[in-house]
Each structure stands twice: as structure tokens, then as C-alpha cells.
């Protein structure tokens, strides 16, 4: 299997905010870790990288919480490298209602948020097939 990195060119997106969200400026780390644990169990990952408390509190990382009926059900960690480039490096949700399709819907919300903030690219750690349906999705080739 070839490991590919990807990004989303935000100039090629035009998504609306469809999921209630907010920046978590004082994140409830145990609650977020509980969501992460539920997510990893649901996905049946054979190996899991832990999330360290400092990742939630890093001043260059945005912690975005997503809600269903006023309950926190998902979060994303997005590292800002500069005013144009950010990395979506962790997402997790409870899968309490799979029909919500939060994996894809929150990605669209993040495109809308960061495009509005003037960012050019959202980088993705891995070129997951389901994310290839996002407008502006590009895989990155070798450096030339």
C-alpha cells in the first residue's frame, strides 16, 4: 500500500456550515479522550497513537467541537502552520448516529471555516478515499 498525503485547495470549495460547532478554548480533555476512545473502539483500530493533553492546549492548534442536540459528539484538532496552511491531524466522533456522516460533514464545515479565515490549504495526513469526494481534494506527489 502506498501512503499518500493530501490537501484541500480551499479556493475550490464552497461549503456551508451544516453541523453545530464551536472552538473549544478550554477543552474538557477527559470528555475529548472519551470520544477518541469510543471512536477507536468503533473503528476497531489494531494500533492507536495516544492524544497527549498538550495537543489539546497547544496555542497553534484549534480544537473544534461538534454537537448533536447540544451534546458534544465529535472533535477535530487542526494545527495552524501559518496564515495560509493548516493540518487536520485528528478527528474523532462517537458514531452515536452514523446517518449524520460526521466524518465527511465536519470536513466540509472545516473547509468553510478555514476558507472564511483566509487559509489556502487544509492538509490531510492521509489521502483517505472517502475524503477524495471533497471539492478541492488533491494528492501530493514527490517534491520536484
pLDDT, tens only, 14-31 = 999 999 999 999 999 999
What proportion of the chain, given as a percentage, has pLDDT over 70?
Answer: 96
Q: DSSP E strands: which ranges in 6-144?
A: 6-9, 21-23, 61-68, 71-80, 85-93, 121-124, 137-139
pTM of the model: 0.92
Strands 21-23, 137-139: pairing is unpaired
For 99-122, what is each residue's pLDDT tens digit?
Answer: 989 989 999 999 999 999 999 999
Q: Are 80 and 60 in contact (CB under 8 A)?
A: yes
Sketch out the chain's domains with CATH numbers: 6-139 (3.40.630.30)
What mean pLDDT, rounded, does the chain reach?
92
Alpha helices for 51-101 (secondary structure H): 53-57
Amino acid at each position: 500500500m502506498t501512503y499518500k498525503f493530501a490537501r484541500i485547495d480551499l479556493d475550490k470549495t464552497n461549503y456551508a456550515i451544516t453541523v453545530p460547532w464551536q472552538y473549544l478554548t478550554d477543552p474538557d480533555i477527559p470528555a475529548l479522550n472519551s470520544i477518541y476512545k469510543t471512536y477507536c473502539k468503533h473503528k476497531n483500530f489494531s494500533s492507536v497513537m495516544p492524544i497527549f493533553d498538550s495537543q489539546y492546549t497547544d496555542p497553534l492548534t484549534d480544537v473544534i467541537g461538534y454537537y448533536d442536540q447540544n451534546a458534544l459528539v465529535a472533535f477535530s484538532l487542526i494545527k495552524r502552520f501559518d496564515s495560509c496552511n493548516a493540518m487536520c491531524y485528528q478527528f474523532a466522533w462517537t458514531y452515536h448516529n452514523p446517518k449524520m456522516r460526521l466524518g465527511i460533514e465536519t470536513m466540509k464545515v472545516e473547509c468553510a471555516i478555514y476558507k472564511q479565515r483566509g487559509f489556502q490549504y487544509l492538509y490531510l495526513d492521509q489521502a483517505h478515499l472517502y475524503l477524495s469526494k471533497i471539492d478541492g481534494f488533491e494528492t501530493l506527489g514527490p517534491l520536484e
